[in-house]
Chains A and B, each alone.
Chain A
C-alpha cells in the first residue's frame, strides 16, 4: 500500500454538460491531515462523495488503502468514518439509538457503557437518552462525529465540519481533529471554504476552483511567511510613496494605488518603524498571505 492511503488520478464528474470536477489527481499520506479549500461549488463535496462511493465518477481512478474503490466499496468503507455536509442523523431516535443502529452495521457491541465512552469523547456525556431532534446544531455535529468514529476508522472524511457552529464549537472540532491526527494517528481529509481553517489543522492542501485543482502542496510551504501581502493606509499616499522611492522597500511594493507590499512577515515592524521615523501618519495595517490574497480574489471577496 505504501505511504499513501488515498490515490486519486484523473478524477472527473459531469452532470450532462456541467463539469463538477475536472480531472483532479492527488495523494493523501498515511497519518496526515489533508485539506480541501474552495468556495461553494468548487467540487469539494462532490470529490468527497466520490471517495465514499456516494457519487459515481465519470472518469478517473480512486484507490483507497491500496485497493480500487470500485468493486471494493464494502471492504474500504469499513475503515472510513465520514461527515458529509450537515451531519444529519435520525432526529426521532435518541442518541443511543442512533449509535446502536450504526454499531449494528459495523457488527460492534451496542452496550451502553461502550456508547457512553464515545459520547464522552465528543462531549455529549449524559445526552444519550435524549432525542437527537432536541439537540443544538453543535450537538448534532458532535453526534455525527461520534457516528463517524464508531468503527475506529483509519481514514476520516470531514466535509466542512465547522459549518454553522459557534466559536466554541469550532474550537472543539479543531481540537478533536488535532487529537485524532496527533494522538491517534488517523488520516484525515477535511474541507472548508476558509483558508485559516485549513491552515490551522492541515499538513497538505489543495485549492479547488470550479471543479479544477488550482494549487496543491504542503501548507507550511504554501503559506510561507516570506510571501506575506501587507497593505498600509496612510494619511498621505503620495508623500508615503515619495519616502519609499529609492529605499529597500520600493522593490517590495506591488501596488502603488493602495500601497501593497509583498514581504517576509518578520519585516513588517521595520517598515512601520521607517514610516513613523519619516513622520508619516499610519492609519491602518493589514497583512495577509499571498495565497489568501489569491484565494480571496478567486472567491471575489
Chain B
C-alpha cells in the first residue's frame, strides 16, 4: 500500500501537467497583488460595493497581507477545484489511455490498494497545492502589504457586517481554513477519480467533474425555498466555502469580538462531517466498481 502510494506520488511528480496548477496559482495571486498594489483603492471599492454604503472605512488601512489573502482565497477557491480535477481525473483514465492500467494490474497488487493509493496521492497533491497557495497568497501578501488587524466583511441577505480580528488571532484561522479547504477539495479529487473509472482518456472525467462542481455551485447559490430545504443540504458544493466560518468571530453581549472564538463552530463541524461522508461514500463506491471492472483498455 505505502509502496504504491510512493509510486503514485513519484509518477505525479514526474508529469509536467502537475506543475501547471502551481504556475497558475502563482500567476493569479501575483496579478491580484500587483493590481491591489498599483490601484488598491479602486479595487477595494469594486470588491466592497455592497458594504460601501453602510460603512465609512479607510480602505487603504484595511488592505494588509491578511486581508489580501482573504480576498484571494475567496476568488481562487472557485478555480482550485479545476486544478485538482486536472490531476485526479487522470488517475485511472490516464493509465487506461496510456495502456499502463493493464500492465500495473497484471502485477501482484490489489485493485483496492491501487485505488486508495491513487486517492491518497491526489489528496497529498491537493494539500501541497494548498500549501503553495498559502505561501503565495498569505506569505507573499504579508511581505508586500504588511500585517495588522484584519477586517472581514460579511453580507448576509440585506445585512452587512464588519468584523475586526486582531493580528495575533488570525494565523490559526488561516491554518484551520486551509485545513478545511483541503477536505473540501478532497471531495473534488474523489469525484474526479470516480469519473476516471469510466473513461479511457482524462478529458471526460476532468470536464464532468468541473461541470458538476459548476452546476452544483450555481444550485447552492440559488435562493429558492424548496431548493434550500430539499436540495442544498445534500450538495457538497453548499459546504465548499465553509472555511469562511473560521473568520466569523463571536462577540460578547456588548458586541466586542471574543479572541480565539468562532461564531458557529457546530456549523463548521457539521460541514466537515458532510464533506467527509461524501469522500467516504464516493471512495467506497469507486472501490466497489473498480474491483468488478473488466480491464479492456
A: which residues have CB within 8 A of B? 49, 52-56, 73-78, 80, 82, 84-93, 97, 101-102, 104-107, 144, 147
Question: How distant is the Cα of A75 from the Cα of B99 in the complex, in angstroms?
Answer: 23
Which residues on the A side are within 8 Å of B109 (C-beta)?
74, 105
| B96 → A minimal CB distance (Å) | 10
| B175 → A minimal CB distance (Å) | 34
Cross-chain contact B14 with A97 (CB below 8 angstroms): yes
Cross-chain contact B108 with A105 (CB below 8 angstroms): yes
Question: How distant is the Cα of A73 from the Cα of B14 in the complex, in angstroms?
Answer: 30
Q: Among B3, B16, B107, which residue has its beta carbon within 8 angstroms of that of A92?
A: B16
Cross-chain contact B108 with A104 (CB below 8 angstroms): no
B285 beta carbon closer than 8 Å to chain A: no
Cross-chain contact B100 with A90 (CB below 8 angstroms): yes
Question: How distant is the Cα of A196 from the Cα of B136 in the complex, in angstroms?
Answer: 64
A106 in contact with B107 given A49-B295, A56-B294, A88-B99 (CB within 8 Å)? yes
Which residues on the A side are within 8 Å of B296 (C-beta)?
49, 55
Cross-chain contact A74 with B110 (CB below 8 angstroms): yes
A82 in contact with B10 given A56-B294, A92-B15, A104-B3 (CB within 8 Å)? no
Which residues on the B side are within 8 Å of A87 (C-beta)?
99, 103
Q: Among B99, B105, B292, which residue has its beta carbon within 8 angstroms of that of A86?
A: B99
Cross-chain contact A78 with B100 (CB below 8 angstroms): no
Cross-chain contact B294 with A102 (CB below 8 angstroms): no
Which residues on the A side are within 8 Å of B100 (C-beta)?
88-90
Cross-chain contact B106 with A84 (CB below 8 angstroms): yes
For chain B, the count of residues having a C-beta within 8 Å of the partner chain is 25
Q: Among A49, A78, A101, A107, which residue has its beta carbon within 8 angstroms of that of B7?
A: A101
Which residues on the A side are within 8 Å of B102 (C-beta)?
49, 52, 54, 84-85
Question: How distant is the Cα of A71 from the Cα of B121 in the complex, in angstroms?
Answer: 27
Question: How distant is the Cα of A78 from the Cα of B107 in the complex, in angstroms?
Answer: 7
Question: How distant is the Cα of A101 from the Cα of B18 in the complex, in angstroms?
Answer: 19
Proximity string of chain B (103-139) to chain A, C-beta cutoff 8 Å, 1 when within and 0 when not? 1111111100000000000000000000000000000
B218 beta carbon closer than 8 Å to chain A: no
| Docked complex: B52-111 residues within 8 A CB-CB of A | 98-100, 102-110
Question: How distant is the Cα of A90 from the Cα of B14 in the complex, in angstroms?
Answer: 10
Contacts A74-B108, A76-B108, A88-B98 supplied; 17 other A-B pairs, CB < 8 Å: A54-B105, A54-B294, A54-B295, A74-B109, A75-B108, A82-B106, A85-B102, A88-B100, A88-B103, A90-B11, A90-B14, A90-B98, A91-B98, A92-B16, A105-B3, A105-B4, A105-B107
Please give me the residue from chain B that is nearest to A93 by CB atom: B14
Q: Among A78, A80, A85, A147, which residue has its beta carbon within 8 angstroms of that of B99?
A: A85
Which residues on the B side are within 8 Å of A86 (C-beta)?
99
Please give me the residue from chain B that is nearest to A104 by CB atom: B3
Question: How distant is the Cα of A80 from the Cα of B108 in the complex, in angstroms?
Answer: 9
| B183 → A minimal CB distance (Å) | 30
Cross-chain contact A77 with B106 (CB below 8 angstroms): yes
A55 in contact with B295 given A88-B98, A104-B3, A105-B108 (CB within 8 Å)? yes
Proximity string of chain B (3-24) to chain A, C-beta cutoff 8 Å, 1 when within and 0 when not? 1101100110011100000000
Question: How distant is the Cα of A244 from the Cα of B111 in the complex, in angstroms?
Answer: 67
Question: How distant is the Cα of A88 from the Cα of B295 in the complex, in angstroms?
Answer: 14
Which residues on the B side are within 8 Å of A107 (C-beta)?
3
16 A–B pairs (Cβ distance < 8 Å), ordered by A: A55-B295, A77-B107, A87-B99, A87-B103, A88-B99, A90-B11, A90-B14, A90-B100, A101-B7, A104-B3, A104-B7, A105-B7, A105-B108, A106-B107, A107-B3, A147-B103
